[in-house]
Amino acid sequence: MNHYQITINPINKNTSDIIIALLAEQDYDGFNEEEDALHCFIPEQLWNEKVLMDTLAPFQLAFAKQLIIQRNWNADWESSYDPIFINKEVAIRATFHESITSAAHNIIIVPKMSFGTGHHATTRMMMEFISEINCNNKSVLDYGCGTGVLAIYTAYKGANHIDAIDIDEWCVENTLENIELNKAENIKVLQGDLDVISNNKYDIILANINLYILLKQMPVFYNILNTNGEIFVSGILNTDVETLQKSGESAGFTLQITKRIENWCALQFIKK
């Protein structure tokens, strides 16, 4: 699948976070932030110039567009990627890094796109949540799996069955590659939305997506989560917490913990 790379610059950090949140609701599936530029990626067939112009107009931002033919993004990623550490328990690294013996787990990620490597605040908070919970013998759904890093981490922590799903074929391919690379077990990878998981029920749900999808799927998440199960969600800005909390509580969940990094948030709900 070919993608368009949309480059927006100059742009500051606060505006970049807002634009990412807005474009994530418009089928953009990858973002790469630089000091004064934001690169956004959208499948070629979903590109709509007017929608982007309308989104950027209030910020008085211009953009440049480039068609990117499907390829592995590892060469670009290697040039700027450093390992990520989560609570001293897990290191997320690339194949070209040496094994990090100080971490209990090493997760090796080779991305096809510039997301899901643990560098973005949303992924980091989700990884922190996983480091803090008991996954042993639990069933897990990684909804919108990206690189599969969250699913792989739960496998390392003892989950006995994991479904990793994504609508994007690149993400499905990449998750399968990373699962093999990490020799992670008990992960089933499926392309599609929640309809592909049949009647499965879960003890843990991980959903690092965007506000629009989370609001839409909260009632469904409630139905497929076991009693006393936990759901962790991210991909939202600080300003969206109250909206998502109300949606989760309306579906039947109880908010437990809110994490914040910069302008981003991640929330933990439980089903009592």
**232 and 156 part of one domain:** yes
Last residue of a domain, one of 47, 70, 93: 70
The range of the structural domain enclosing residue 231 comes to 120-270
At residue 70, does pLDDT exceed 80?
no
Token code pair at residue 234: 């991210």
**65 and 139 part of one domain:** no
pLDDT of residue 115: 53
pLDDT of residue 114: 45
Q: Is the full-model pTM beyond 0.85?
A: no
How far apart CA 261 and CA 46 sit, in angstroms, is 30
Q: Indicate whether 112 belongs to any domain.
A: no
pLDDT tens-digit readout, 27-62: 887 787 877 889 888 888 999 999 999 999 999 999
Contact 138, 224 (CB under 8 A): no
Q: How many domains does the chain have?
A: 2
Q: Indicate whether 103 belongs to any domain.
A: no
pLDDT of residue 111: 64
**64 and 124 part of one domain:** no
Query: What's the rounded mean pLDDT across residues 132-153?
Result: 95
Q: What is the CATH number of the domain that holds 36?
A: 3.30.70.340
Q: Indicate whether 255 belongs to any domain.
A: yes
Q: Which residues contact 31 (CB under 8 A, 6 or more apart)?
A: 20, 23, 24, 38, 39, 40, 41, 114, 115, 120
Q: What is the CATH number of the domain that holds 150?
A: 3.40.50.150
Last residue of a domain, one of 49, 70, 91: 70
At residue 72, does pLDDT exceed 70?
no
At residue 79, does pLDDT exceed 80?
no
b/e code 66-96 from CB counts within 10 Å (16+ = b)? eeeeeeebeeebeeebebbbbeebbbbbbee
Share of the chain above pLDDT 70, in %: 92
Q: Indicate whether 48 belongs to any domain.
A: yes
pLDDT tens-digit readout, 85-142: 888 788 888 877 788 888 888 998 886 654 555 567 889 999 999 999 999 999 999 9
Token code pair at residue 69: 């033919």
Q: Which residue has the higher pLDDT, 271 or 82?
A: 271
Residue 149: closest CA among 206, 112, 107: 107
pLDDT tens-digit readout, 173-186: 889 999 999 999 89
Q: By three-state DSSP, how is residue 72 classified?
A: coil
Which H or E run contains 106?
strand 105-108
